[in-house]
């Protein structure tokens, strides 16, 4: 069973930098920031008044019945849109697979926060009878995956793993594992998030996790820079279509690359802080490389978790050095696209895997913008401010979540 090869044939990206794979990719390669003043709510009461918002999103375009989008939380709207974009990008047709062999795993780190907030206000201000009967289905974190399966008519394995900021990578990795085990031939997998709301902003602000560089929003997310002061909230979706290689070849699919490795670990240390020496994150990358039968020196690019938090960036740097040894400072290239998108939480890994895939396709590594005074403890090559042209055959994407949840995925240039 483990000899089954899994390839990526479709991607759907919705991000603050752009909607659609090519708009997103051209934006991050140009070093474009998607961070600006918050418009979803009045940000005045909050310490952080900036975020990476998705602009011009029209959810009704992605539903068979546009009215159904009105009974769907924004996070699930983004999940459905990302899933449909990836499905269409893959070029797959309903007749290519039996529906029970095609699954969906699109998770969310937080879920329907907007619904929770709105319906709680209705309960407190207007009474029990004014709470919508759609409250629970709209709020739960698995409903985005469920609705995506309904919209696409896919009856294979369906679930939604919730692991905070590691959500996308866990959903993609476990979809890969399901396919390796032979329980599906194709999967739609990734994550979506929409929590730029009063509750989300207040919660993250009060734990002092967010940047308060409100007067310079485009410069606020600055991973590995000495002036970083926290992450910037973002929203969006990142979804891929995975197919078993022989099935993809049979239908003549365009193959972006091969998904070759997946690593998981737990820090078992702290609610929100990583292990100081990066041991958990390092074990996670080690596992991904082991599954892929890769040596550290085989990897050209790591898309870092790189959130722009004071401790997180240092700990990830240490983790990368633990896993890659001398190669970490002698050939390995690292960058954080969160410098442009902000932190998309449960959607981050899906969007960042797309950046790895497109780096392999085009031979371009997106930059870490706002890296002006590199932290001495962050002493790797982070591609400061300007994208770099170089061949990429293997890339690793890291995602680490609150609770000590770690997930890494490795992708490789496809060769038959």
Q: Show Cβ contacts of residue 78 under 8 Å, excluding neighbours closer than 6 positions.
A: 14, 54, 57, 59, 144, 192, 193, 194, 235, 236, 237, 347
Angstrom distances, CA of residue 230 to CA of 16, 214, 269, 295 = 18, 12, 20, 33
State the Cα–Cα distance between residues 284 and 264, nearest whole angstrom.
Answer: 5
The H or E element containing residue 412 is: strand 405-412
Catalytic residue check, 356 = no
One of 116, 170, 291, 343 is an active-site residue; which one?
A: 343
Residues 229, 410, 169: CA angle, nearest 5 degrees: 60
Q: Is 343 a catalytic residue?
A: yes
Based on the residue annotation, tell me whether 40 is a catalytic residue of this protein. no
Whole-number Å distance between alpha carbons of 364 and 327 = 20
Strand blocks (E) in 232-373: 236-244, 257-266, 301-303, 333-335, 364-365
* Active-site position among 165, 315, 356, 378: 165
Phi, psi torsion values for 50, nearest 5 degrees: -130, 155
> Cα(240)–Cα(243) distance, rounded to whole angstroms?
10
Active-site hit among 305, 315, 378, 405: 305
Backbone angles phi, psi at 72, to 5 degrees: -135, 130
Contact 162, 79 (CB under 8 A): no
Name the residues annotated as catalytic.
165, 305, 343
């Amino acid at each position: 069973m483990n000899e089954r090869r899994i390839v990526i044939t479709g991607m759907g990206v919705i991000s603050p930098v752009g909607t659609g794979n090519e708009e997103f990719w051209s934006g991050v390669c140009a070093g474009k920031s998607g961070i600006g003043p918050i418009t979803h709510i009045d940000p005045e009461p909050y310490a952080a008044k900036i975020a990476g918002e998705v602009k011009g999103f029209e959810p009704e375009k992605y539903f068979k019945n546009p009215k159904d989008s009105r009974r769907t939380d924004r996070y699930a709207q983004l999940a459905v849109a990302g899933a449909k974009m990836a499905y269409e990008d893959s070029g797959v047709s309903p007749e290519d697979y039996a529906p029970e062999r095609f699954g969906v795993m699109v998770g969310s780190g937080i879920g329907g926060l907007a619904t929770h907030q709105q319906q709680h206000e209705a309960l407190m201000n207007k009474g029990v009878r004014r709470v919508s009967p759609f409250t629970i289905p709209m709020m739960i974190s698995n409903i985005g995956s469920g609705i995506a399966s309904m919209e696409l008519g896919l009856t294979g394995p369906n679930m939604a793993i919730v692991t905070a900021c590691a959500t996308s990578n866990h959903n993609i990795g476990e979809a890969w594992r399901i396919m390796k085990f032979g329980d599906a031939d194709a999967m739609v997998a990734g994550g979506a998030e929409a929590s730029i709301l009063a509750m989300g902003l207040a919660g993250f602000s009060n734990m002092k996790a967010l940047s308060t560089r409100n007067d310079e929003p485009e410069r606020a997310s600055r991973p590995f820079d000495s002036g970083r002061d926290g992450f910037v909230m973002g929203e969006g979706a990142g979804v891929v279509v995975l197919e078993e290689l022989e099935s993809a070849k049979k239908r003549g699919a365009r193959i972006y690359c091969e998904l070759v490795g997946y690593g998981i670990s737990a820090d078992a240390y702290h609610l929100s802080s990583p292990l100081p020496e990066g041991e958990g994150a390092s074990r996670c990358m080690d596992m991904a490389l082991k599954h892929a039968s890769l040596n550290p020196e085989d990897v050209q690019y790591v898309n870092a978790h790189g959130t722009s938090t004071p401790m997180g960036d240092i700990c990830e740097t240490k983790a990368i050095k633990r896993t890659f040894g001398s190669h970490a400072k002698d050939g390995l290239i690292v960058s954080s696209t969160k410098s442009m998108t902000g932190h998309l939480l449960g959607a981050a890994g899906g969007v960042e895997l797309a950046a790895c895939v497109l780096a392999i396709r085009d031979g371009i590594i997106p930059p870490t913008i706002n890296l002006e005074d590199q932290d001495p403890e962050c002493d790797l090559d982070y591609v400061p401010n300007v994208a770099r042209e170089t061949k990429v055959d293997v890339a690793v994407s890291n995602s680490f979540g609150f609770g000590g949840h770690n997930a890494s995925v490795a992708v490789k240039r496809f060769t038959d």
